[in-house]
Amino acid sequence: MIEAVIFDMDGVLYELNDEARLSFLSGLCAKPPEEIYSQIWLSGFEAMSDAGKLGPEEYLQGFGRILEYDLTEDDWIQCRASGTIPLPRSLELAEQVCRRIPVALLTNNGLLLKRTIDRIAPKAHSIFGTNLFVSAEFGTTKPDPSIYLSACARLHMNPRNVLMVDDREENIEGAYKVGMSGHHFSTPELLHAELLRLKVFSSEVGDNLR
């Protein structure tokens, strides 16, 4: 029996538009988008933040040094928000589940996102509240099995009674290793069908998603 559902953020509840983020940053610092992508995302810098090795201020300062630009927190929020596009049907499903059983969000992201999520993804903030988890607070990232155990412990749930919804197959495989159920997300319609199959809610819920 599924007693709680954990949702990924980017690729499930929100579309992450890298082009929009890179365009925003390029406009600030006048560096080519491909250079920014290489220096931030391919260098391991962002991965360090996701794994909790950089605090919010250290991350923001490091981000600015790489860009050679005095990046403010508001700049970063605008950048992240520009590429964080809500997927309304997925968010509606999460909201429907929230009315029946506990839900949480678990995303590979840093502590600055956690601190500013109300401005970047206000709908997610309203749905998940204090059950909004970023990988950095656990000191590791998906698909490390330990992160799923930690998230389930925060929910006071047995992993065997928790469903993980993620768009990356390797993250679902990590959840399987600790006994969780998993759904490899592709569309809200297929997620809706899986929630029906697992009896998370009845057939009349989410008819608009068919």
Q: How many domains does the chain have?
A: 2
5-28 average pLDDT score: 97
Q: Are 97 and 195 in contact (CB under 8 A)?
A: yes
Q: Are residues 169 and 203 located together in one domain of the fold?
A: yes
Instruction: Answer with the one of 60, 82, 104 that is the final residue of a domain.
Output: 82
- Residues 25, 66 share a domain: yes
Residue 207 has pLDDT above 90, yes or no: no
The domain boundary, picked from 31, 52, 82, lies at 82
Q: Would you state the pLDDT for residue 205? A: 52
Domain region containing 203:
4-15+86-209
Average pLDDT, the chain: 95
Instruction: Provide the pLDDT for residue 100.
Output: 96
Half-sphere exposure of 32 (CA within 13 A, CB side): 3
Contact indicator for 120, 9 with CB cutoff of 8 Å: no
147 and 70 both lie in a single domain: no
* pLDDT in the model for residue 131: 98
Q: What DSSP assignment string belongs to 3-24? A: -EEEE-SBTTTEEE-HHHHHHH
Looking at the structure, do residues 131 and 92 belong to the same domain, yes or no? yes
Report pLDDT digits (tens) over 111-154. Answer: 999 999 999 999 999 999 999 999 999 999 999 999 999 999 99
pLDDT band of residue 3 (cuts 50, 70, 90) is: very high
pTM surpassing 0.75?
yes
Q: Are residues 65 and 95 in the same domain?
A: no
Q: Which pLDDT score, from 0 to 100, does residue 167 have?
A: 98
